[in-house]
Amino acid sequence: MKLLAALLLILAFTGVAWGADTSASFSRGRYLTRVGDCRACHTEPGRAAFSGGRPIETPFGVIYTPNITPDAQTGIGKWTFADFYRAMHNGIDDDGDYLYPAFPFPSYTNLTRQDVKAIWDYLRSVEPVHRKNRPNTLRWPYSMRSAMRVWRALYFDPHTFKPDPNASPMLNRGAYLVRGLAHCGACHSPRNGWGAVRQEYALAGGTVPIDGWYAPNITPNPSTGIGGWSAQALSNFLSTGRSERGAALGPMRDVVQSSLQYLTDSDLAAIVAYVQSLPAQGPTLKVAHTAPAATPNHQIPGAALYHKHCSGCHGDDGHAKHDYYPDLRNNSIVLAANPTNLVLMILQGGFEAATDAHPYPYSMPPFGFKLSDKEVAKIANFVRRNWDRRLVPQIAPQQVEPLR
Amino acid sequence: MISSRSIRSLRRILPGILIVAATAFAIPAFAGPANPPPDHHGMKIRLAACATCHGKRGQGGAGTTAGVYPRLADQPAGYLYKQLLRFKSARRTGIPPVKIMHHLLINLPAPYLQLIAAYYAAESPPFPPAAPRDQARWEEGRKLVQHGVPSEGIEACTSCHGSDLQGQPPSVPALAGQYARYLTIQFEHWAQGARHDPLHEHIAETLTTPQIQAMSHYLASLRPAANSTRKAE
C-alpha cells in the first residue's frame, strides 16, 4: 500500500511533466483550433463543445453546423486525416459531397498540411459526443449540393498560402493568419449575390449573418477603416475586446472571447502589422468638421434623451468618469459611416468580452423596449454629431426599425 | 512487486490525480492577484444591464410594466445561478423580456454567472407595499398554496418552498413577496413549454387561470418574518 502511494506520488508529478512534454503538438493543435475559432460555430450554446447544431442564418436559408467530435456515428470519428484535409483544403466532405462556404474553406484552403494535421490531432482528442446532425433548411436551388460545382468553378481556387518573398516573415505570418486560419474575410469582406467573397474588396467591410451586425472595413482607410488606429489600440482591441477607439460588440466580442484573446504576442503583432500594411479599401469620406457649437449642448436634438439615459455612465461630454465605460468621443462605432452597430448596441445592450484580461466585464442596459425608433435615432445622432462635430450621415428612425 | 490489481486501481484513479495536479497548476492562472473577483460594490457597477429592469439591488418590478420583472434579492444563490444558465442556453424562454436575458448572458462564463447570483442573493432591499387585498381571492389563494389539490396530485407549495415560502437553499426559490404578475406569467410559460419542469407544468395545466391568479395574489401579499433565518443557512 505504501509502495502504491509512493508510486502514485511519483506518477502525479512525472505525469504532469510527461503531459506537458508530449502535449506540445496537442497544445499547438488546440491553439490553432482556437485561432480558427472552430468551436464557436460548431457548438450550440449550452451544448457540448464541438457537437454542432448551431444555426447559421445565411441569405439562402439556415445551415446547421455539424458535429465534429470523434463520435463514430454522428461525428467525424470514422473520418481519416485525408478526409479532414480534403474538407479543410478543398471543401469536400468524406462522402465526396461539396460543402457550403458558410464553412470557411475558401480561407482554410490556405493552411499548411502540418497545421491541418495539428488541428486534426486536437479534434481527435476531444470528448466524443453522440449527437445527430440537423439537416439544413436551405431554399431550392441552394439546397442542391451539386449546384456548388458551378459556384466552385467561379469562386473557389484551392491553394496553400504562398509567402510573399518581398515581405517580412512577420507580414507573411499575419497574412497567413488573416487570410487563412482566422478567416477574417468571412465577415469583414463583402459577398456577392451568390455568397462568394468579393476578393477585389477584401476586408473592406461586410454584413454578418447574425442580427445584421456590420463587420467594418479593417483596411487602413482613415475614415471608415482602421487608418486612425494605433498598433496598440488594435492590439488591445483584438486581445481584450477593449480599446480607446471602442469596444468589440456583437459577434466580434464573441470572436475576441473565444479566439483572439489566446493569440500569442507574436501572432497578435503579425495580424496588426498585416492589416496596417494593406492597401486602403473604399472611398475616403471627407471628414468635414462643423464649426464649434453655436447652440448650448442641451438645445441640440437628442441632448435631453442622452442626459436622461446615457450620461450617468458615459458622462455629459461622452467621456466617462471611469475608464471602464467606453469613451464615446472619437469612437469608431459611434462615428462609423454604417450606423448599424451603434443602433444595435443601443437596442440590445450587453456585456463586454469576458477575457482572461477582463474576466468580469461591465455591461450596458438594453434600451430597445424603452425607447422608440425616433428616440434611438435621436440619441445616436446626438452622440455622432455633438462632440466630434463631424459630418457623419444622419440616422433616420426608419433605419432603426429593421434592427429590432 | 506491484500486483496487477494495484495497477488496475492505479489506472482507475490516475486520471483523477492528473486532473487534481492540472487544476493545482491551473489555479494561479485564474485566481492570480491580477484579476481578483470584484467586491460587492464592483459587481453593482458591472451589472448596469440588469439594474434597468431588476433594480440596482434586485428589487425588481421596475417601470411601467410593474411586476413583470421578478425580485432577485433574497433568493438562494443556487436558484439564481441555475436560472442564469438556463437563460444563457435559451432553455428558459418566454415573453420578449425573457428573450433579452439570453442575449445579455450569452457570452458570460460560469464563474461570472456565479458572482452575479451571489450578488443578488446577498441583497435584501425593502419590499414594496403590498397591493390592496381582495379577501375572497386571497383566501382561495391561501388554501391552494397551503394545501395544494390532493385529488389532482398537486402538493402544497409549502412542501418544497418552505413553510414560510421563503425558499430552500440551494435551489428552491422564495415565493413570499414575489410580484403577482411575474408569478402568473411563469405558469403561462410552463403551460406553453417556455419553462420546463414536470411538476409545475402539471400545476399550470390543471389549475384554472383565476386559481393561478389567486395563488399569485396571496403569495405577493406575504412578507418575510423579521426573524427569518433562511439566509443564514
The predicted pLDDT at position A3 comes to: 52
Cα separation, B152 vs B204, whole angstroms:
12
pLDDT at position A293 is 53
Distance (Å, rounded) from C-alpha A241 to C-alpha A356?
11
Location of C-alpha cell 479599401: A281
Q: How many CB atoms lie within 10 A of CB A255?
A: 21
Task: Provide the shortest C-alpha distance from residue B45 to chain A (in Å).
Answer: 7
B 76-115 residues inside an 8 A Cβ radius of A: 85, 88-91, 96-97, 100, 103-109, 111-112, 115
Closest residue in B to A18 (Cα–Cα): B18
Q: What pLDDT is stored for residue B14 in this prediction?
A: 45
Dihedrals phi, psi of B186, to nearest 5 degrees: -60, -40
Chain A: give the shortest CA distance to residue B102, in Å: 10
pLDDT (0 to 100) of residue A46: 79
CA B218 to chain A, closest CA, distance in angstroms equals 30
Distance CA A183, CA A196 (A): 13
> What are the residue ranges in chain A where pLDDT is below 50?
1, 7-21, 294
Cis previous bond, A135, omega within 30: no
A350 with B18: Cβ contact below 8 A: no
Reported pTM: 0.86
Q: How long a stretch of residues is chain A?
A: 404
pLDDT value for A2: 54
For residue A207, the surrounding DSSP H or E stretch is strand A206-207
The C-alpha atoms of residue A271 and residue A248 are separated, in whole angstroms, by 17
CB A271 within 8 A of CB A263: yes
Are the Cβ atoms of B50 and A15 closer than 8 angstroms? no
Amino acid at B19: I
Q: Which 3 state secondary structure label does DSSP give A210?
A: coil
Q: Which residue of A has its CA nearest to B7?
A: A4
- What is the helix (H) or strand (E) element at residue A117, kind and residue range? helix A113-125
The segments of chain B whose pLDDT lies below 50 read 1-32, 227, 229-233
CB contact under 8 A, A7 and B97: no
DSSP A181: I
Give the CA-trace dihedral at B4, B9, B13, B14, to 10 degrees.
Answer: 0
Q: Is B62 on the interface with A (CB under 8 A)?
A: no
Q: Nearest-CA distance from A368 to chain B in Å?
A: 10
CB contacts of B51 in chain A (<8 Å) are: 365
Cβ neighbours around B208 below 10 Å, total: 8
- B36: chain A residues, CB-CB within 8 Å: none
Torsion of Cα atoms, A45 then A47 then A49 then A53, to 10°: -70
Cβ distance B107 to A257 less than 8 Å, yes or no, reads: yes
Instruction: Output the CA–CA distances (angstroms, integers) from residue A243 to A25, A62, A236, in the order listed.
Output: 33, 34, 6
Report the residue from B2, B10, B90 with minimal CB separation from A46. Answer: B90
On whether the CB atoms of residues A364 and B48 are closer than 8 A, the answer is yes
